[in-house]
């Protein structure tokens, strides 16, 4: 089995590193519109060779789309036009718009919409790591629209990566992702900008920054070229959650304004129950 | 030199573990109003013995106050009343109210107001670790109000812990801490509550939570008994920063409402410059 990975960033690069060990895999082929990424991926031993999109598709059995979600939306119909029996999976952070784009395509059954719930704030082939994915959830969406054979191959890949598989509709996925991933990024971006604004008046503002600050703004290092398309495609869900988050922040603000410290303690105690979820 | 540590939680306990190695230290004495903490601290080898407050003060040379900031404010005048030559340092997360409380005390010179910028979301003696403090900043506030001898001892302690020392007024400290620590906690608490509210309708909301979510809400595990007194004492600074943060969040919201994705990309690119600060 030959695997073509389109996009050799954090996710595609890490999959390249790991899937080399999947029983039955002969060649890992890379496609990346950035030549520098291709060279890094070859030098780093992530892929056996780099090819043009059409050549890479013609010689492979499985195609993994690991590019920003706007690029997935644009390229997926073209790929479905030219595949024959190849299975295509994407790993994008949004699912509904992508699934809608190809819902009536004659080759829809060859495509599996998925999202491995792993990532870091780093990007590019140099961020690729064998420590990726294991222990996290991989979501497969709208599985009734994919062929049994295609689902079987994608399940095999995620299980080999050490992930457990969760099935849901693409709409459910996008709502859940807004809550547990997309809004975290906005709060990090906004917190970074809050402190950076202050720094304009006060050069030494970061002198005291410690681990707590770092973990809260870590995601603010994430790139616009990946995240703007996510916010475009999941705009309404993200807006809903953002409105709720601002409401929750306003509850804290009211406690401070009104010096209602009993209610403040209650809000914090409620937040503490998140322990149940986190390790 | 004998050191008395009042409060054997994360900070006091970690100091107990590490200061045993400070040249010249003979005994580490613990004081804690929670008997269970005292037993844990003795069993864990954090302290040589547990004593009542007055006994512990009478036999020591240095007193470290590692209790919530409301308790520091309450107990510090009493301790200053009974000390003779003992140096007292606190490690609280706010400084202005505490300094103001004792500004006219005849023994003010024996007190050094300080804040080591290290912490985790865990608490109690079992959270104490020798991995604490190193490489981070320790703030000493209003140092002109402390005697040279007292400042010298506190500097020696922080340097031994591997910290670099930053000097500023207690007012400056509280403003900076609001930006790089206190507000991070509120955003984490509020984000946890946002998602926990959603969970009431949708049991599976956390199934997809991954590393990004965990790092953003990690601080939401922090306890109200430590944090409410911080918000009480630093209320106005925290409110200012919180207002700015909500304004920054509203900029992201406007971009989504108006589908202004160029401006959204600009906001994210600005947030990315936080890289300069983070490792």
State the ipTM, two decimals.
0.94
How close A150 comes to chain B (CA, Å)?
23
C-alpha dist (Å) from residue A209 to B138, B168, B268: 11, 15, 21
Size of interface A-B (CB pairs under 8 A): 298
Mean pLDDT of the B91-115 span: 98
Neighbours of B161 (CB within 10 A): 21
What pLDDT, on a 0 to 100 scale, did the predictor assign at position A276? 87
C-alpha dist (Å) from residue A128 to A150, B5, B14: 26, 46, 36
Q: What angle do CA A40, A42, A46 make, to 5 degrees?
A: 95
How close A246 comes to chain B (CA, Å)?
7
> What pLDDT, in 10s, does the model give residues B17-27?
999 999 999 99
- Give the Cα separation of B42 and B219 in Å (integer): 28
- Is residue A133 less than 8 Å (CB to CB) from chain B? no
**Residue tagged 């600074």 (tokens):** B237
- Give the Cα separation of B227 and B232 in Å (integer): 9
| Type and span of the H or E element at A168 | strand A164-168
Give the closest of A218, A231, A243 to B215, CB-based: A218
pLDDT > 70? residue A279: no
Burial, B100: exposed, middle or buried (Cβ in 10 Å; 0-12, 13-18, 19+)? middle
> What pLDDT, in 10s, does the model give residues B201-212?
888 888 888 788
Strand partners, A204: none
pLDDT > 80? residue B140: yes
Closest CA relative to residue A247, chosen from B195, B190, B231, B251: B190
- Give the Cα separation of A244 and B17 in Å (integer): 43
Cβ partners under 8 Å of residue A38, min gap 6: A8, A30, A32, A50
- Give the Cα separation of A215 and A227 in Å (integer): 19
> In A64-79, which positions are buried (b, 16+ CB within 10 angstroms) versus exposed (e)?
bbbbbbbbbbebbeeb
> What pLDDT, in 10s, does the model give residues A67-86?
999 999 999 999 999 999 99
Mean pLDDT of the A166-192 span: 96
> What pLDDT, in 10s, does the model give residues A128-146?
999 999 999 999 999 999 9
pTM for this model (two decimals): 0.93
pLDDT-derived band at B279 (thresholds 50, 70, 90) equals: low
């Amino acid at each position: 089995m030959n695997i073509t990975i389109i996009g050799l960033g954090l996710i595609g690069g890490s999959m390249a590193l790991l899937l080399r060990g999947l029983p039955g895999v002969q060649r890992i082929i890379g496609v990346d519109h950035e030549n520098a990424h291709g060279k890094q991926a070859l030098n780093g031993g992530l892929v056996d060779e780099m090819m043009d999109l059409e050549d890479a598709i013609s010689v492979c059995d499985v195609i993994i789309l690991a590019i920003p979600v706007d690029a997935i939306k644009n390229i997926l119909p073209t790929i479905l036009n030219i595949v024959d029996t190849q299975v295509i999976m994407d790993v994008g952070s949004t699912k509904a718009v992508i699934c809608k784009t190809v819902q009536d395509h004659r080759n829809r059954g060859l495509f599996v919409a998925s999202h491995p719930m792993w990532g870091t704030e780093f990007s590019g082939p140099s961020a690729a790591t064998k420590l990726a994915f294991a222990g996290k959830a991989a979501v497969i969406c709208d599985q009734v629209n994919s062929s049994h054979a295609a689902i079987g191959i994608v399940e095999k890949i995620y299980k080999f990566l050490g992930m457990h598989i969760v099935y849901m509709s693409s709409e459910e996925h996008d709502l859940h992702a807004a809550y547990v991933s997309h809004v975290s990024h906005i709060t990090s971006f906004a917190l970074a900008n809050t402190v950076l604004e202050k720094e304009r008046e006060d050069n030494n503002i970061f002198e005291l920054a410690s681990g707590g600050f770092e973990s809260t703004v870590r995601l603010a290092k994430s790139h616009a070229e990946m995240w703007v398309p996510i916010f475009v495609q999941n705009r309404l869900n993200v807006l809903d959650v953002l409105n709720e988050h601002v409401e929750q922040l306003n509850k804290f603000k009211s406690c401070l304004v009104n010096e209602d410290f009993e209610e403040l303690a209650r809000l914090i105690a409620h937040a503490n129950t998140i322990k149940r979820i986190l390790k």
